[in-house]
A = this chain, B = another copy of it.
Amino acid sequence: MTSRPGLGVPLTSASNPRIRAAIALRDRRGRESSGLTLVDGARELRRAIDAGVEIVEAFVCEPMLAGPDARVVLDALQKGGAPVHATSEAAFGRLAFGDRAEGFVAVVRSPSLGLDRLKLGPDPLVLVVESVEKPGNLGAILRSADGAGVDAVIAASPRTDLFNPNVIRASAGTVFSVPLASAPSEDVLAWLRTSGVRIVAARVDGASAYTDTDLRGSLAIALGTEADGLTETWRVPDVEAVHVPMRGVADSLNVSVTAAILAYESRRQREGHRDPAD
């Protein structure tokens, strides 16, 4: 990719105040005090732009640009009006995360996460993930939720910030496209009840197998942590517990795998599939 006059003289020093301010967003306190976060990678940034996320500024290392998304993202950034800083490879290396150096790091405003931002249509399929701690797990859940066409993901009492750059990366940018909200577990339960959404909880000791459970209609599937499962908040009469059969030596699946199996089974049932041999 040839140099473009629009990007100007590259920033070459990692002590540049813009770069230092961006690096501070790798830290949770830096993100919480500013309401900003970092997006690494062309694919992720493209999905943020497509979702209408506010780009505050972007750092571009032109020698590293490659792949089909790079030109599209660069054009969108330049049209968008936020400052785009050409950045030397050395300075970019300090700013970018790990091995994911695709030539783009952007500072973006973290979208709001109130339950009131969710607008559910008829018969919504919602995933509730309680106490999620590992950014990689939350990102994987979002990516599977995107694939399964889940209508909303709600993080109940999360133990990570949802726009942690590692969530963004693990979600392949779908954290911006999947409708997402966060609230304490009690508030999530109350909101689902008010919204008339039936709730099914995934528990290792759930009475029914998920395949014997009707997962159609207006439904939220609630998942807890691998170590402790869902809290007692969800052990109430109007929440039905289901389990995913474990046929081997281990006693549980990864939470993102459980989420994917349940969401895809719900989709399968909704589409009225009959067994192929019928």
Q: Considering only CB atoms, which chain B residue lies closest to A46 in the complex? A: B249
Contact of A260 among B215, B260, B275 (CB under 8 A): B260
CA distance A103 to B5 in the complex (A): 59
Chain B positions within 8 Å of A254 at CB level: 140, 143-144, 256
**Are B276 and A212 in touch, CB under 8 angstroms?**
yes
Q: Considering only CB atoms, which chain B residue lies closest to A249 in the complex? A: B177
Min distance, Cβ A277 to any Cβ of chain B, angstroms: 5
Dominant secondary structure at the A interface:
loop
**Are A147 and B275 in touch, CB under 8 angstroms?**
no
Q: Mark A171-197, 1 if CB is under 8 A from B, else 0.
A: 011100110000000000000000000
Chain B positions within 8 Å of A249 at CB level: 47, 50, 146, 173-174, 177
Min distance, Cβ A240 to any Cβ of chain B, angstroms: 12
Q: Mark A70-113, 1 if CB is under 8 A from B, else 0.
A: 00000000000000000000000000000000000000000000
CA distance A177 to B247 in the complex (A): 12
Number of interface residues, chain A, beta carbon within 8 A: 47
Min distance, Cβ A72 to any Cβ of chain B, angstroms: 14
Contact of A211 among B177, B246, B271 (CB under 8 A): B271
**Are B277 and A216 in touch, CB under 8 angstroms?**
yes
Chain B positions within 8 Å of A216 at CB level: 277
CA distance A273 to B276 in the complex (A): 12
Contact of A250 among B174, B250, B265, B277 (CB under 8 A): B174
Within 8 A of B (CB), among A186-226: 211-216
Instruction: Report if A9 contacts B (CB, 8 A).
Output: no
CA distance A261 to B244 in the complex (A): 12
Report, nearest first, the 10 A-B pairs whose CB atoms are least far apart: A149-B247, A146-B248, A214-B276, A257-B260, A211-B273, A177-B249, A211-B268, A147-B246, A147-B253, A261-B264
